[in-house]
Structure 1
Amino acid sequence: MALTIEEAIDWIHSRLHFGSRPGLDRVEALLARLDHPENKVPVIHIAGTNGKGSTVSYLQAMLQEAGVTVGTFTSPYIESFNERIAVNGRPIADEALINLVERVQPLVAQMDQEEAIAGITEFELLTALGLLYFLEVSVDVAVVEVGLGGLLDSTNVVSPRLTAITTIGMDHTDILGETIEEIAAQKAGILKKGIPAVLGNISDDALAVIDQIANQQQVKAAHFDQEYEVHYRHPDSQWGEVFDFYNEVGKIPELVTPLLGKHQIENAGVAIQLFYEYCQLVKLPFKEKSVREGLKKTLWPARMERVSQEPLVVLDGAHNEHAIQRLTENLKKEFSDYRIRILFSALETKDISSMLSQLLALPNAEIYLTSFDYPKALQLENNYQQLNEQRITVVSLWPFGLVELLEQADSDDLILVTGSLYFVSEVRKLIKKM
């Protein structure tokens, strides 16, 4: 009897209890049993501490404008689980996902009987499902987002045509290393011998490590502010950003992205350069129209996403210190005249105290601290309120706190929901129902 979609997703989620275990043995064993789809799908592989998701979205939109059939493999999802595996922006159909699950279930059961490859994780399983799907629907290229790190991430089984590293910041230090150089080395693990790469706005200490590995791998790398540049232009009151892009072809002026924040211009720059490199590889015309229209149509929910105008409500999944730093830069630039009321929750695996301290550095901000139903979610009993008892209010049930904030808001208020993307996506679902 066929599985329902709920049963199929529940089975995938049942692998969550194996946690995150860096290494390629398990995913390689499953892919071998599936006749190695990872070697047959053309891939653009994207790593980075932050900015991966929006870069994937920009690139997918530009490729689609150019007539390319493009698969995307991303995480986490915002509205539906199926978003994680998509073609031309359309999530995998329930029937297709069920079919894939039914095919791999007996293979996983066999693997669980072999100690060396038992316990494939949820993300490893999804990696295999995504690559198999992309092969069977014959995408022209799949844009694959790294899950964690790079070198030992399960997506590092692919045979890429291009790679990219968007940013390097201090995150997942328990797994990737305690210095920026160690983290950079892990991210650079996706660089493959002779395969071109695009590098984002990366600090000098991290870039030195990446460049060393790139040289060892004979990788031709396009650097931010060297082989390509983005120049910010002040937008005319619209929501989003305007910028000029430069590379060896010349200048594309006054590009518009609907995503807010200077870092989104930098992510767009990485995506445009990747699009250019891809066009060079496959002998596709690099057209300004594809760039311009693709950027305009890019959607990336829960990243500086305005979900209400009156009152002004913005969602941003700034889930680690590096992302919070970018968020506070945006808030200082765009919303200095507002009273910013922040509904915040995160995972205890992050440096929550540091994230809150950065938000408290905004003089016009008040924080409403809450928790949500997710493993390792913020624990209110840890008393983060002591960082600033005057400006941090504890909200035990976030839906009630959100409703109260919405009811109290006036024209000078910005209600910002931020922290864990899992939390922000839950809030987003509720707001969309209101």
Structure 2
Amino acid sequence: MNVLEGETRAPLRSYDEAVEWINALIPFGIRPGLDRIHAMMDRLGNPHRRLKFIHVAGTNGKGSSCAFLTGALRESGYAVGTYTSPYITKFTNRFQYNGEDIPESVLLELSNRLYPLVQEIAATELGSPTMFEVSTALAILYYAEVCYPDVVVWETGLGGRMDVTNIVTPVVSLITNVGYDHTDILGDTLEKIAAEKAGIIKPGVPVISCVEQPEVIRIMKNTAAENKSALYLLGEQFTYERGGIHENEQSLLFKGPFREIGLDIGLQGEHQCKNASGAIMVLEVLRQYMAFVLDDEDVKRGFRNTAWAGRMELVSKDPRIVLDGAHNPEGAETLSKSIPEVYRYRKLNLMMGMLANKHHHGYFKHILPIVDTLILTEPDFRRKMDAGALLSLVQELKESIAKPELKVIVEPDWKTALEILKSQTEAEDLGVVSGTLYLISDVRAALLHQTDSEKGW
């Protein structure tokens, strides 16, 4: 089908123009609410209603959980769409079908189809759709009218209840965890944030969650009960036992309401055992109640082969450099536990940069105790946090929690900071780059010599 049929001239002439147009909608910001996405879908005939979704929300672990689900379902013979954000390399990364990015030509065609709708809605009292709303509409069109996957693994952008991805009614929902992130939008208490995440729970749709805090568990249970949705909770309906830990993989034994199954996973850290167990519980619900055919060996192979860029990813061996997009307190806590557990090293050298819209005290409280050399830098992004401001936070905390011999280097230019990290990291040491994924994206492209990196939300 030619999505431009009947138009004399497309307003967008190239892939680059299409991406530039979508990204130009960023100034409209994050505007929680579903009115604009509903308006777009109504004009398109509500194509999302023809798709099966697995809706994934949570503070951390969404991307890894989506990767586990995608890998296991693909190995089991299913055609899988995967919609995630942010992206590490190219804008097309966020729209995948069977592990392949949307073709640039298709993205251009679909953008041109959406272009007049966006202009039309922008002229109403609703105002212009945002970048993420247009991206979400594009994903729905791609899956519903171009590639027709059996199931779409569907990651929320921010929160849940008012996130535009919440326009769909999934076959099963997954809420990985709840922590302090985006507090300016989601609320400043765990209860408020949990209520937003729990907003993806739909009437009668089973939900799996790995949340652990008592006040968050209470909200999940209450919301599930209100919606008459079966809730499968880590520690209650399912558990896991962690097995061997090696530099390239770890093992776990999943124990669920229907059976037990052992897995090896390539992603590192105990948090990935939690993510994997949540994903397995999702698959168990699909297998038990929705007639998905999931052979154990296929599922195991899918989990073993799952990789996720920028999450405890060893990208250089000489010197050893690990990338991890930890950018909030929970992520930093996980990273500070996982690094010493997985790697042996003499000194740990950490390079990090952040966005200015975050509260970073909690990050530093968890990460500083394990660091020997700290290199503070700035991502190449408009909302970057000044490296000097990060230094002020470090100085506040340094005496109480850091190693006495902690060395701190401030280098705003991330490329120069990376060269410093490489020069400071000797054979017995470990270098880590952490913080916003905007920084991780650039550093990853530089270390892997990728020339087509675009990065973005």
Alignment TM class, shorter chain as reference: over 0.9
Q: Which moved more, 1:260-269 or 1:239-248?
A: 239-248
Q: Is the 8 A contact 1:41 1:159 kept in 2?
A: no
What is the CA–CA distance in structure 2 between the aligned matches of 1:406 and 1:366, rounded to whole Å? 12
Asked if 1:304 corresponds to 2:319, the answer is no
Aligned-residue offset at 1:160: 0.7
Tell me the SS of whatever aligns to 2:174. Answer: strand
What is the CA–CA distance in structure 1 between the aligned matches of 2:288 and 2:59, rounded to whole Å? 27
Q: Is the 8 A contact 1:360 1:366 kept in 2?
A: no
Residue identity over aligned pairs, in percent, reads: 34
Query: Which residues of structure 2 form unaligned runs of 5+?
Result: 1-8, 400-405, 451-457
What is the CA–CA distance in structure 2 between the aligned matches of 1:126 and 1:92, rounded to whole Å? 12
Deviation digits for residues 130-181 of structure 1 (CA, Å, limit 9, x no counterpart)? 0111111211111100111100000000011100100000111111111101
Please name the residue that 2:153 is paired with: 143
Please name the residue that 1:377 is paired with: 384
Asked if 1:60 corresponds to 2:70, the answer is yes
Aligned residue pairs total: 430
What is the CA–CA distance in structure 1 between the aligned matches of 2:386 and 2:312, rounded to whole Å? 25
Pairs within 5 Å for 1:164-243? 164-235=174-245, 237-243=246-252
Aligned-residue offset at 1:336: 6.3
What is the CA–CA distance in structure 2 between the aligned matches of 1:263 and 1:301, rounded to whole Å? 16
- Paired amino acid for 1:373: D
Pairs within 5 Å for 1:9-408? 9-115=19-125, 117-136=126-145, 137-235=147-245, 237-253=246-262, 255-335=263-343, 337-362=345-370, 364-382=371-389, 383-384=391-392, 385-387=394-396, 388=398, 391-408=407-424
Q: Is the 8 A contact 2:211 2:217 kept in 1?
A: no
Aligned-residue offset at 1:335: 3.9
Asked if 1:430 corresponds to 2:437, the answer is no
Deviation digits for residues 21-43 of structure 1 (CA, Å, limit 9, x no counterpart)? 10011111111111111222111
What is the CA–CA distance in structure 2 between the aligned matches of 1:409 and 1:346, rounded to whole Å? 22
Q: Is the 8 A contact 2:353 2:387 kept in 1?
A: no
Q: Is the 8 A contact 2:54 2:171 kept in 1?
A: yes
Q: Is the 8 A contact 1:243 1:256 kept in 2?
A: yes
- Paired amino acid for 2:348: I
Tell me the SS of whatever aligns to 1:143. Answer: strand
What is the CA–CA distance in structure 2 between the aligned matches of 1:175 and 1:213, rounded to whole Å? 20
Question: Does the C-alpha gap of structure 1 residues 142 and 166 become closer, same or farther in structure 2, counting only changes over 3 Å?
Answer: same
Q: Is the 8 A contact 2:270 2:338 kept in 1?
A: yes
- Paired amino acid for 1:295: F
Q: Is the 8 A contact 2:119 2:128 kept in 1?
A: no
Q: Is the 8 A contact 1:343 1:417 kept in 2?
A: yes
What is the CA–CA distance in structure 2 between the aligned matches of 1:230 and 1:273, rounded to whole Å? 11
What is the CA–CA distance in structure 1 between the aligned matches of 2:244 and 2:211, rounded to whole Å? 20
What is the CA–CA distance in structure 1 between the aligned matches of 2:40 and 2:264, rounded to whole Å? 42
Please name the residue that 1:413 is paired with: 429
Tell me the SS of whatever aligns to 1:23. Answer: coil
Q: Which moved more, 1:20-29 or 1:353-362?
A: 353-362
Aligned-residue offset at 1:417: 0.4
What is the CA–CA distance in structure 2 between the aligned matches of 1:366 and 1:350, rounded to whole Å? 23
What is the CA–CA distance in structure 1 between the aligned matches of 2:344 and 2:369, rounded to whole Å? 12
TM-score normalised according to structure 2 size: 0.91
Q: Is the 8 A contact 2:379 2:436 kept in 1?
A: no
Aligned-residue offset at 1:391: 3.0
Aligned-residue offset at 1:359: 1.4
Tell me the SS of whatever aligns to 2:25. Answer: helix
What is the CA–CA distance in structure 1 between the aligned matches of 2:24 and 2:242, rounded to whole Å? 45
Q: Is the 8 A contact 1:343 1:368 kept in 2?
A: yes
Tell me the SS of whatever aligns to 2:365. Answer: helix
What is the CA–CA distance in structure 2 between the aligned matches of 1:381 and 1:203, rounded to whole Å? 34
- Paired amino acid for 1:53: G
Deviation digits for residues 168-217 of structure 1 (CA, Å, limit 9, x no counterpart)? 00111111111101111110000000101111143111010111010010
Q: CA RMSD in A?
A: 1.6
Q: Which moved more, 1:422-431 or 1:377-386?
A: 377-386
What is the CA–CA distance in structure 2 between the aligned matches of 1:127 and 1:44, rounded to whole Å? 15
Q: Which moved more, 1:237-246 or 1:264-273?
A: 237-246
What is the CA–CA distance in structure 2 between the aligned matches of 1:380 and 1:312, rounded to whole Å? 24
Deviation digits for residues 96-137 of structure 1 (CA, Å, limit 9, x no counterpart)? 10010000101111111112x212111111111101111112
Q: Is the 8 A contact 1:359 1:365 kept in 2?
A: no
What is the CA–CA distance in structure 2 between the aligned matches of 1:198 and 1:405, rounded to whole Å? 40
- Paired amino acid for 1:357: K
What is the CA–CA distance in structure 1 between the aligned matches of 2:314 and 2:366, rounded to whole Å? 22
What is the CA–CA distance in structure 2 between the aligned matches of 1:261 and 1:315, rounded to whole Å? 13
- Paired amino acid for 1:377: K
Tell me the SS of whatever aligns to 1:370. Answer: strand
Aligned-residue offset at 1:248: 2.7
Q: Which moved more, 1:62-71 or 1:379-388?
A: 379-388
What is the CA–CA distance in structure 2 between the aligned matches of 1:132 and 1:396, rounded to whole Å? 41
What is the CA–CA distance in structure 2 between the aligned matches of 1:231 and 1:322, rounded to whole Å? 21
TM-score normalised according to structure 1 size: 0.96
- Paired amino acid for 1:278: L
Tell me the SS of whatever aligns to 2:373. Answer: strand
